[in-house]
Structure 1
Amino acid sequence: MSRQNYQTGDSSVENLRRTLRITSLDDDDDEEDESPPNNTTNLINRMDEEDEDDEEDEEDEMAVTIGFVEKPKHDWSLLPHLFPSKAGGFPAWLDPVNLPSGSSTVCGICGDPLQFLLQVYAPLFEKKSTFHRTLFVFMCPSMKCLLQDQHEQWKRPSDNPSRSVKVYRCQLPRSNPFYSSEPPKHNGTVKPSEVKAALCSWCGTWKGCSVCGNCKTARYCSEKHQAAHWHKGHNNECRKLAIDPQNSSSSPGKIASNSIWPQFEIVDEDEPEVDTMSENGGYATALASVSHVDEGFNSLIHSFEADADKKSSATFQERVSRFPEQVIRYCWSTRAKPLWPMSSGRPSETDVPKCRYCGGPRCFELQILSKLLYYFGVKNDVNSLDWSTIVIYTCEASCDEGVVYKEEFAWVQLPSQTSATVG
């Protein structure tokens, strides 16, 4: 995950391959019990199966790389040629020319351009084409859109779901048109390549496909960002530039929007091995009391589901509390599983679509925790952006087919949801 992997080469492959199996509940227990409701035997069996799954998970728990944010030490620390992992600000595009465009850049629900959330440098050295590899995550800052996104994610690809969270994977071989094949020097002496796409003057994120008709200098990714820039004062700047293109009060590359999330560097370290937790992280409440089954099967089912969420939450909180400042959890392995805050609202294998480019399976790779919102200064208001976790699934083969920036799949788990939210 770290840019240090580029410097150390194959010796750090094992760090990238550290695997994760954390969730205390099996992901594939979504089948409905078809037994008559007056018979509680099947429920008891399901509870026993859960206990067996917990034991297997504890035996198979594996390490994960955790990421923290900190202010960059230098202005040049997060430039693209240093292959940074970063949150907020605007992306350090890996391929600086062939950027996503069109509908890929906007929220599928409200139509506004998406805002850059974070990127993680995650090279894979077993393939030449993935010597450099970065995951980019974007999202709409509207909580209303995120709520709708949570419904849309249950749809199958053929239903064309509209998403407010989008993920792109970009990868390059060691020999490429943009970067030296030698490890970069982290001393500020090397300047980034001048070969890059012109970006939007408002957001600094997406390609500026249109040019201001008056000054012929400012570029925009959308009409909405052009209008926002105009209302903020570009109309005055524009007149000056039209008369004298050199007479600009704006610094080169300065972004006009003040709604971009603050910029941080993501630093990572391997999570220490977790000791076997007694009673699943201290959560010892019984899932159901057999002596009370006569009170009604439905109430027992509700109790089972609620306690499953409590159990999952306790495991999540216990694990995260060991390093409460972490904002991401990373693992590259086909056996890796995320750390779910809740049992309900998790995807099954069929809910995660196949890679749209090669048709192969996707696997878990990256998890984003809501702690990031604290560092972004997002207020804890009713309508403020919030999530429990965002889980990223990527092509298991990290395929090369298709466009340069390949869209992957994000699963959003909100603070309160159930699997009944199927759209």
Structure 2
Amino acid sequence: MASHAQEQILIGLCDGELDSKRYQSSYLTNKVGGQPDWFPVISRQSPRCRRCAALLTHVVQVYCPLDSSPYHRNLHLFACPGTDCSGRSESWTVLRSQGLESEMAAAQPASRDAPPQEAALLTTDWCDTADDWGMEGEDGDDGWGGGLKKESQVQEEVKAENPTGNTTDISSRLQDLSLEESQEEIPVFSPFFISVVEESDLFGEDDLKHAQELLREYEKREGVAVGELQGSGDGGGEEKYEKTRARHGDAIFSRFMKKISLCPQQILRYCHGGKPLFISEPPSNMAQLFSACSSCGGPRTFELQLMPALVSLLQRKDSNVEVEFGTVLVYTCANSCWAAGSHSAVEEFCFVQADPDQQLFK
């Protein structure tokens, strides 16, 4: 990624319900909930909770190709729906998958029906070339994304991994997949589109005035004074905290609130190679926790984080399943390593911080 774009922060916002009867999502779609849309060359993944072994629920899908890379690139975040596992890092998993355009075209069966145009128009990417947002869908309307996988697609993937044509292995894998899904149901959150804006675009005069009002309300409620927001972003002055401490005694949380007060409805922050926005004091060994890529052993870097406003969107119509957190930070391989011809997603590092004042976002 080009160094001049590393500090560019992108904000993800809820952009309406993804109605499967009207829209067909694909791996090009940024979304909350629903079923994950895997690349045609990637085997379907069903991660489990490291704490209770339950199947994890899909939370967020982000299409995030890197500017200097020829690969399509996705991140999928999963969380355990169990009450006792809520807010624990070991109960979250983030998977990175990549694929070349030529591989996609070869592995994706021809679609009989053209995908709905609305889905293409709402496709957004998170790569360095932010000027292209909203235009990617025009290129993405070429049959790459086939929506949710059908059995025929799984067969294509298995054949790619099994060029000898051993039908016994293929049938066995499909049977195991069907048995697993029939025996254990995976909760699915209602799907929503995610739209993207640059954080710097939020500093309009009217928005800044509204943010200042929210900030004053927060200062009065929490008994803490922080510096004024600057219209030029972080470069226009430093935060200054008075001796009076917030009721929860956490200056880091106060900074967090100040930073997001301009757009409290943000559900995701993206800044590949940038700095995370902690909601509470991180552990002293944080750098060691995410330092090494589990695949290549190289360094990891911060890429994105989920925000408290997302919690209220994670709902099921037929149950009371709920996942709570303050922020979920994702660190990925700095080199975005990928083995040519790979059919398995790479697990990256997730770190969850609880929200010390969750009721503010409900």
Q: TM-score range by the shorter chain?
A: 0.5 to 0.7
Q: CA RMSD in A?
A: 3.7
Within 2, Cα distance between the matches of 1:400 and 1:390? Answer: 24
Cα offset for 1:185? 2.6
Structure of greater Rg:
1
| Contact 2:95–2:347, Cα closer than 8 Å, also in 1 | yes
Cα pair distance change 1:111/1:227, threshold 3 Å? same
1:350 aligns to 2:288 (yes or no): yes
| Contact 2:41–2:343, Cα closer than 8 Å, also in 1 | no
| Contact 1:96–1:196, Cα closer than 8 Å, also in 2 | no
| Unaligned segments of structure 2, at least 5 residues | 111-137, 156-171, 201-231, 358-362
Within 1, Cα distance between the matches of 2:352 and 2:145? Answer: 39
Question: Which structure 2 residues correspond to residues 347-386 of structure 1 after superposition, within 5 A?
Answer: 348-377=286-315, 385-386=323-324
TM-score of the superposed pair, with normalisation by structure 2? 0.64
Residue 167 of structure 1 is aligned with which of 74, 89, 94?
Answer: 94
| Contact 2:311–2:325, Cα closer than 8 Å, also in 1 | no
Question: Which structure 2 residues correspond to residues 280-295 of structure 1 after superposition, within 5 A?
Answer: 280=239, 283-285=241-243
Residue 398 of structure 1 is aligned with which of 336, 342, 345?
Answer: 336
Cα offset for 1:17? 6.6
2:34 corresponding residue in structure 1: 89
* SS of corresponding position for 2:93: strand
Question: Which structure 2 residues correspond to residues 125-274 of structure 1 after superposition, within 5 A?
Answer: 125-128=67-70, 130=71, 132-146=72-86, 149-150=88-89, 163-176=90-103, 177-178=106-107, 183-185=139-141, 196-197=153-154, 209=173, 211=175, 219-220=178-179, 222=180, 225-227=181-183, 259-272=187-200, 274=233
Within 1, Cα distance between the matches of 2:30 and 2:11? Answer: 12
* SS of corresponding position for 1:106: coil
Within 1, Cα distance between the matches of 2:337 and 2:20? Answer: 34
Question: Which structure 2 residues correspond to residues 321-360 of structure 1 after superposition, within 5 A?
Answer: 321-333=261-273, 336-345=274-283, 348-360=286-298
1:34 corresponding residue in structure 2: none
Cα pair distance change 1:409/1:106, threshold 3 Å? same
Within 2, Cα distance between the matches of 1:283 and 1:384? Answer: 35
* SS of corresponding position for 1:175: helix
Within 1, Cα distance between the matches of 2:242 and 2:316? Answer: 35
- Percent of aligned pairs sharing the same letter: 25
Cα offset for 1:143? 3.5
Cα offset for 1:139? 1.0
Letter in 1 for 2:251: K
Letter in 2 for 1:414: A
| Contact 1:71–1:265, Cα closer than 8 Å, also in 2 | yes
Within 2, Cα distance between the matches of 1:261 and 1:73? Answer: 13
* SS of corresponding position for 1:196: helix
TM-score of the superposed pair, with normalisation by structure 1? 0.56
Within 2, Cα distance between the matches of 1:190 and 1:139? Answer: 24
| Unaligned segments of structure 1, at least 5 residues | 1-12, 21-62, 151-162, 199-207, 213-217, 230-256, 288-302, 418-423
